Structures are given as structure tokens and as C-alpha cells.
């Protein structure tokens, strides 16, 4: 089977499996269950009706999505940048490691959402507090992975580079950093889904827009269709994010793949 | 400096080296001495785990001896230096760089401008027969090709001394013969002083001007053979076989 045929087969399978799921859902809510749960059609209809045109609350779906995405991206990239720098420094320098690792070991096991109450009391869970929570989610995973990546660089790479005349700075930027990239990317991937979960939690607790708000507002109005529409949007955006992530990774870690 | 001293490029005198291990102290090199003249091809021939890599690490400057001295081109070795190129036992190419990126790495670190360093790197890529693979990543290359890159990478900083640690140890028999011929061709085109570690006697006789036979751990010089056969040598010639028999005893 060549690659094109294989792709077509996979596409057919995906379409069939999603359609089957939707049909089962549609049939399933025909009876008693229908009172608790809307069918797929109203949910899909609401999703597209509110996407650019109609509104949920006072905003269209796409604006809600953008609110959540911008919060995630701000915290995610900030956390990733700080995490890469701190993690690599900890892996590279014994002193930096000795100073930061005890602190880090305590902060790391605390899930970001555990900070929500404090944030509310201190600063009221506004934009900066939400971004800070997402920052924490991203920062912890990325730091941890950059740290272990830098610590586990093959000592022979360092020897080879020293033999070829690299100085200390050059070792850090031309050996330790690239050698840690696969590990950093593993951290970035976990961080992304953790950030996505955190933004929803933060929006559910306090917010007047965003995907987390949609489902909480749906609950308050007892509007099952709105809740399900929110969940659908969360799934779709999450899927899109990890697809984009994998594309970027495949590009930057090309050298790490023996296949294709 | 007399002419005689000048021609001695490497001088190791009575080196000892041991490592601290949980069980105590593990002596790996004992009273090892060696002199290598300019452009001489020396094979260190010794059994597995006898301390061959440790000897290379000492001359390369990755490790320091406990006792004794190592001089390369008249200067004591205290750290790695550009006059000593190393080809590693496990190759250790930088997997995130292409063939060109690996070969030009040393020149890049030295701040050679891009155009010039790529021209110089290309010369060595051609020398090892890898033209056309400049932009390939190491994962895509076969074992033999990877080690060609390893040789080009070390050659490209134009060292006086090449230290080669069982470069062909992981190759299949046929590729290994081919790489021995290739290395001889490369060395005859670009003469260097070579310290070549091997545990394969045929390889040693094929390549060496002089074979130093090492003892079991701790490594020390057991015997020395000057190989005067004309090059290229035939693995099956009577002289080759006789030498092989003599050394293997
Ligand atoms: N840094 C180190 N610390 C402790 N022991 C070491 C160290 N380096 C080498 N050794 C020990 O020294 C001995 C010789 O090692 P070395 O790698 O030099 O041998 P070798 O002849 O190159 O082996 P091989 O044939 O596997 O390449 C081994 O027993 C090894 O475990
Ligand atoms: Mg070895």
C-alpha cells in the first residue's frame, strides 16, 4: 500500500468512526435520555450559528475561543521561555541547580489550580492572575524537562565539541541546548495540555468570557445545549493546538527521526 | 631543539592512570611510554577493556595522568587542543547537525567565516568520499558513512595528530575492510601522525608503521613491532600471514 492509499484509508476510517458516533448519539437521546441530554444536531447547529453570527452571552463563539487562546498563549510562551532558561541553567551549572532545585521540587507538585483561591483573594483572578496560573502550568513542565535534558547530554558530545575547540559558552549554546531539544519538546507538549486545562478551570471560577465561561454559564442557565457546545469547542481547539504542535516539532526535531 | 626531538611529535613517559571505584582504586594504565614521530602511523593493539580508550583520553587531554608526562609537539597536554583530532569509538556525531554542519563545526567555533569554512569542510567531505551527502543528517547514514564523517570532522581542524579509538569496531567485516583501505588512502593523501587503537590484528598489520602490543589491564607496553611491508598490503600475502602468526603468539 503506498502512502497516498494509506492516507485515504485513514481518512475514510476517521469519517466512518465519527459518523457512527454521531448517529449513535442521535439515536440514543431519542428516548428518556433526551430529557437530560441534547442530540448532536442542536449542538452542532449552535456551534456554527454562534461561531461568527449569533452570540453566547454577549460575544460570538470565535471571540470566546480567542479569549481563551490568548490567555493560554500568553502564559504558555512566558512559562516556556522562563522554563527553558532556568532548566538549562540548572542542568548546566551545579550552583544554579543547588539554589533552585529545592524550591522547584516543592512548587512543582502543586497543581496550578490550587493557586486559584489565593489569586482571588489577592488580585481577584483578573487577566494577569489567569495568565500567571497558566504560566505556572507551563513553567513547571518545561523547566523539569529542560533540566533533565541538559543533565543527560551525552558526555561524548561535550568531549567531541571540546576537541573541536568549543569554549564554555559555545558548549552551552551549540551542544547542550540542541541536545536537550527533544526533551524540551516533550515538556512543551505536556505543558500545552496542562495550560489548556488550567485556563478552562480559571474561566469557570471567575470570568465573563472564554470557553470555560460558556460551560459554567450554561450550567447556571440549565442550558444543556450551550454546555455541550462549549465542550465541543474545547475539544476542537485542543485538537487543533496539538496538531499544530506536532507539525512544529516534526520540523524542529527532523534530525531526531530515523523514519520518513 | 634538535632535529631528532622535533621529529618526535608525541612523547608519553611512564604514565600511570587509575580511577576511584566503589571497591577501591582501579589501575587502568601502568608505566606506559610511547614516542611517535611525525607522520607515523601507530597502532595500539590490545585486548578488550585493557585501557585503550583511557590512553586515547589521556593523550587527547580529556583526562590527566596520575604520574608521568605527555608532550605533544613539545608542549605538555593539560586539556584538549586543536593540534589533536579525535575519532571516537562510538562516533559521537552531533545528530542535530548535517554532515556539513558536523565537519565545519570546529572551524565555526574558531570563528572562520562561513564561505571559507564551508570550502574547507567540503575538501574533507570530498576526501572521505561523502560528496552528495552534505545535507544529510547522521540518522540517515550507514555506520561506515558515519565514521567517514567522524574522520572528516577531526581532519577539518587540521590537527597534527589524529587519535582514532577503534573507529571501525562497530562495522561489519566487509565494510571494515573497505574502511581500512579508505583510511590508508586518506592518510596517504593527508599525512598525519596517527595513533590508531584496535583489537583486530589484521587491521593493525594492514595500517601500521609500528604496532604497540598492550598487556591486559592495567595497560602497559608488552611488545613492539615495526611493520616494513610495502603499501598497499595484501591481507593474504605470506609476509602478512607470517607477521600475524608472530604477533598473535
Ligand atoms: N572514568 C572511569 N571511572 C572508572 N573506571 C573507568 C573509567 N574509565 C574507564 N574505566 C575502567 O577502566 C577499564 C578500561 O577502560 P577503557 O575504556 O579504557 O578500556 P578499552 O580498552 O577502551 O575497552 P574497550 O575494548 O571496551 O574499548 C575498564 O575496566 C573501565 O571500566
Ligand atoms: Mg575503548
Rounded to a whole number, what is the distance in Å from the CA of B185 to chain A's nearest CA? 23
Compute the distance from residue B237 Cα to the ligand 2 centre, in Å: 30
Around Cβ A167, how many Cβ atoms within 10 Å?
10
Mutate to test the interface with A, among B92, B141, B146 (most CBs of A within 10 A): B92
pLDDT for the residue numbered B213: 94
Number of domains in chain A: 1
- CA distances to A73, A74, A123, A144, A210 from A137, rounded to whole Å, are 12, 12, 19, 12, 18
Number of H helices, E strands in chain B: 8, 10
CATH class as words, domain B1-83+161-170+179-249: alpha beta
Task: Write the ipTM.
Answer: 0.90
Cβ–Cβ contact A20 with B under 8 A: no
- Interatomic CA distance for residues A177 and A180, integer angstroms: 5
Pocket of ligand 1 (CB under 6 A): B 19, 21, 26, 28, 48-54, 89, 166, 217
Cβ–Cβ contact A182 with B under 8 A: no
Least distant ligand from the CA of B88: 2
Residue A217 has pLDDT above 50, yes or no: yes
Residue B17 has pLDDT above 90, yes or no: yes
Cell digits of residue A56 = 453566547
| pLDDT tens figures, A136-184 | 999 999 999 999 999 999 999 999 999 999 999 999 999 999 999 999 9
Q: Within chain B, which residue ranges are assigned CATH 3.40.50.300?
A: 1-83+161-170+179-249
Residues of chain B with Cβ-Cβ distance to A160 below 8 Å are 86, 88, 92, 94, 153
**Closest chain B CA to residue A175:** B94
pLDDT for the residue numbered A260: 40
Residue A190, domain extent: 62-253
pLDDT for the residue numbered A258: 54
Q: What is the mean pLDDT of chain B?
A: 92
Question: What residues pair up with B44 in beta bridges, in sequence order?
Answer: B197, B212
Look up the pTM and report it.
Answer: 0.86
| pLDDT tens figures, A223-256 | 999 999 999 999 999 999 999 999 999 888 888 8
Question: What residues pair up with B193 in beta bridges, in sequence order?
Answer: B161
- Kindly report the CATH number assigned to the domain that includes residue A236: 1.10.3720.10
pLDDT for the residue numbered A120: 81
Cβ-based contacts under 8 A for chains A and B: 66
Cβ–Cβ contact B245 with A under 8 A: no
- Assign B4 a pLDDT band (cuts: 50, 70, 90): low
Residue B248 has pLDDT above 90, yes or no: no
Q: How large is the C-alpha radius of gyration of chain A?
A: 23
Residue A25 in domain: no
pLDDT for the residue numbered B34: 94
pLDDT for the residue numbered A118: 84
Residue B159 has pLDDT above 50, yes or no: yes
Residue B95 has pLDDT above 80, yes or no: yes
Amino acid at each position: 500500500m503506498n502512502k497516498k492509499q494509506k492516507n485515504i484509508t485513514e481518512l475514510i476510517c476517521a469519517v466512518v468512526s465519527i459518523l457512527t458516533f454521531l448517529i449513535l448519539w442521535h439515536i440514543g437521546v431519542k428516548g428518556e435520555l433526551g430529557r437530560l441530554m441534547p442530540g448532536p444536531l442542536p449542538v452542532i447547529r449552535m456551534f456554527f450559528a454562534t461561531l461568527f453570527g449569533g452570540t453566547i452571552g454577549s460575544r460570538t463563539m470565535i471571540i470566546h475561543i480567542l479569549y481563551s487562546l490568548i490567555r493560554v498563549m500568553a502564559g504558555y510562551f512566558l512559562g516556556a521561555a522562563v522554563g527553558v532558561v532556568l532548566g538549562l541553567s540548572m542542568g548546566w551549572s551545579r550552583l544554579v541547580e543547588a539554589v533552585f532545585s529545592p524550591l522547584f521540587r516543592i512548587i512543582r507538585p502543586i497543581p496550578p489550580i490550587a493557586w486559584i483561591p489565593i489569586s482571588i483573594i489577592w488580585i481577584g483572578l483578573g487577566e494577569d492572575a489567569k495568565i500567571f496560573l497558566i504560566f505556572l502550568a507551563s513553567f513547571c513542565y518545561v523547566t523539569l524537562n529542560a533540566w533533565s535534558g541538559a543533565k543527560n547530554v551525552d558526555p561524548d558530545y561535550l568531549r567531541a565539541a571540546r576537541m573541536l575547540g568549543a569554549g564554555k559558552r559555545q558548549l552551552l549554546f551549540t551542544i547542550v541546548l540542541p541536545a536537550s531539544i527533544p526533551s524540551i519538546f516533550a515538556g512543551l507538549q505536556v505543558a500545552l495540555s496542562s495550560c489548556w486545562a488550567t485556563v478552562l478551570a480559571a474561566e469557570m471560577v471567575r470570568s465573563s468570557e472564554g470557553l470555560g465561561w460558556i460551560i459554567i454559564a450554561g450550567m447556571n442557565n440549565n442550558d444543556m445545549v450551550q454546555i455541550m457546545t462549549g465542550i465541543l469547542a474545547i475539544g476542537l481547539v485542543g485538537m487543533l493546538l496539538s496538531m499544530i504542535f506536532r507539525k512544529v516539532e516534526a520540523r524542529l526535531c527532523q534530525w531526531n527521526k530515523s523514519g520518513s | 631543539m634538535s632535529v631528532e626531538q622535533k621529529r618526535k611529535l608525541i612523547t608519553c613517559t611512564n604514565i600511570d592512570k587509575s580511577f576511584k571505584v566503589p571497591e577501591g582504586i582501579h589501575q587502568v594504565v601502568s608505566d606506559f611510554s610511547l614516542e611517535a614521530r611525525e607522520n607515523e602511523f601507530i597502532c595500539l593493539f590490545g585486548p578488550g577493556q585493557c585501557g585503550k580508550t583511557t590512553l586515547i583520553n589521556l593523550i587527547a587531554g580529556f583526562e590527566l595522568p596520575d604520574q608521568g608526562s605527555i608532550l605533544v609537539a613539545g608542549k605538555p597536554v593539560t586539556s584538549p587542543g586543536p593540534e589533536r583530532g579525535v575519532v571516537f569509538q562510538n562516533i559521537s556525531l552531533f545528530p542535530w547537525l548535517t554532515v556539513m554542519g558536523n565537519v565545519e563545526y570546529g572551524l565555526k567555533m574558531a570563528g572562520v567565516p562561513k564561505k571559507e569554512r564551508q570550502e574547507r569542510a567540503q575538501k574533507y567531505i570530498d576526501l572521505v568520499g561523502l560528496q552528495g551527502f552534505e545535507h544529510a543528517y547522521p540518522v540517515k547514514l550507514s555506520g561506515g558513512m558515519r565514521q567517514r564523517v567522524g574522520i572528516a570532522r577531526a581532519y577539518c581542524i587540521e590537527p597534527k595528530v589524529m587519535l582514532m579509538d577503534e573507529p571501525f569496531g562497530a562495522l561489519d567485516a566487509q565494510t571494515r575492510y573497505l574502511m581500512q583501505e579508505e583510511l590508508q588512502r586518506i592518510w596517504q593523501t593527508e599525512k598525519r601522525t596517527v595513533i590508531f587503537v584496535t583489537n583486530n590484528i589484521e587491521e593493525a598489520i594492514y595500517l601500521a608503521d609500528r604496532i604497540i602490543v598492550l598487556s591486559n589491564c592495567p595497560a602497559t607496553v608488552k611488545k613492539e613491532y615495526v611493520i616494513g611491508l610495502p603499501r598497499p598490503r595484501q591481507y593474504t600475502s605470506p609476509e602478512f600471514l607470517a607477521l600475524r602468526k608472530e604477533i598473535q603468539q
